[in-house]
Amino acid sequence: MIPAVHTTQLHSLPLLARGKVRDNYAVGTDRILMVATDRISAFDVIMGEPIPGKGELLTRLSLFWFDKLGPKGANLCPIHLTGEDPLSVVAPDERELVRGRSMLVKRLQPIPVEAVVRGYLAGSGWKEYQQSQLVCGVPLPAGLRLASRLPEPIFTPAAKAAVGEHDENITFDEMAARIGPDLAARIRDLSIRLYQTASDYAATRGIIIADTKFEFGLDADGTLTLMDEVLTPDSSRYWPAESYQEGINPPSFDKQYLRDWLETAQVDGWPWNKTPPAPRLPREVIEQTAAKYREALQRLIG
């Protein structure tokens, strides 16, 4: 059994980049091997301790949603999977390390905007609404509460930041100025369709998808393609439907348990200031976080 994987070091492929969770390796000039490690980040800081099994779980969930939303399923848009076995591009002695936690994908030109869709009022959206009754420039009705369901899903993009820095919420007009109005409108409309389709399915499994973020790229022909991860607990806010109620933060199947612990954590006797280094995670926090991720997978896939 492979122990928890915090960082990979493949000798058979050149490393392209390390993200918060994924290590990306070049496969020729047209493909990337994306390896999901067991790293976890919170408040844009990577924790020192991995969450065992997390990378495999994220990969299984992403593959499930790519299958459901892409050409084999609802056929809402092209996806970045090549359909090839990831184990075929690494050395024999590396196969167990990447087995179950990797995707072999097309190399795309990433669009430098995260496509965030919100169906409920939570997180930074709730904070912004309390101040201005807007979320990323989108006006909302008066009288909404924490965790209120929105009249319809809204698109609230974010500018992608470098690892360790915070993504910046922007308005749709700002997004259009950065990437062009036609492409921005296509991404907005597609993201809302993807969210709605996924939300309808999740509801049949007792899960509310409060919000999520998608990432897109363009292939050599300029085709808009869904990429990276999709609808995982790292990129989405999952709530159990049976305990949902307005006015409170529902318990969630994501890293909210970790975030809540970090809000009370101390480093050298002082409250943690949300900059590196992160507090050392106790075993209980690691185990509880892993359990939240496993429950999300079990509910959605069975």
The predicted model scores a pTM of 0.94
Both 84 and 116 in one domain: the answer is no
Q: Dump pLDDT digits (tens) for 84-111.
A: 999 999 999 999 999 999 999 999 999 9
Residue 89: which CATH number? 3.30.200.20
**HEC secondary structure over 207-241:** EEEEEEEEEEEECCCCCEEEECCCCCCCCEEEEEH
Both 26 and 131 in one domain: the answer is no
Given 225, 243, 261, the domain boundary residue is: 243
Both 73 and 156 in one domain: the answer is no
Cα separation, 190 vs 111, whole angstroms: 14
- Count Cα neighbours of 233 within 13 Å in the Cβ-side half-sphere: 33
CA distances from 190 to 125, 213, 226 (A): 21, 12, 10
pLDDT higher than threshold 70 for residue 188: yes
Q: Dump pLDDT digits (tens) for 49-67.
A: 999 999 999 999 999 999 9
Q: Dump pLDDT digits (tens) for 237-253.
A: 999 999 999 999 888 88
Cα separation, 28 vs 13, whole angstroms: 9
Both 232 and 118 in one domain: the answer is yes
Q: What is the mean pLDDT of residues 273-292?
A: 94
Cβ proximity of 112 and 178 under 8 Å:
yes
Given 78, 107, 136, the domain boundary residue is: 107
Q: Torsion angle, CA of 93/60/293/295, rounded to 10 degrees?
A: -130
Total Cβ atoms within 10 A of residue 267:
13
- State the pLDDT at residue 164: 55
Please name every residue paired with 267 in a beta bridge, in sequence order, or none if there are none. Answer: 270
Residue 253 lies in a domain: no
| More confident position, 255 or 97 | 97
Cβ proximity of 15 and 24 under 8 Å:
yes
Q: Dump pLDDT digits (tens) for 98-145.
A: 999 999 999 999 999 999 999 999 988 999 999 999 999 999 999 999
Residues 6 or more apart in contact with residue 89 via CB below 8 angstroms: 12, 13, 27, 31, 33, 104
Q: Which of 258, 231, 20, 19 is nearest to 117 (CA)?
A: 231
Cα separation, 123 vs 288, whole angstroms: 21
CA distances from 37 to 8, 172, 233 (A): 7, 32, 14
Given 210, 243, 276, the domain boundary residue is: 243
For 274, the 3-state DSSP assignment is coil
Residue 154: which CATH number? 3.30.470.20
Cβ proximity of 21 and 41 under 8 Å:
yes
**Total number of domains constituting the chain:** 2
Both 97 and 127 in one domain: the answer is no
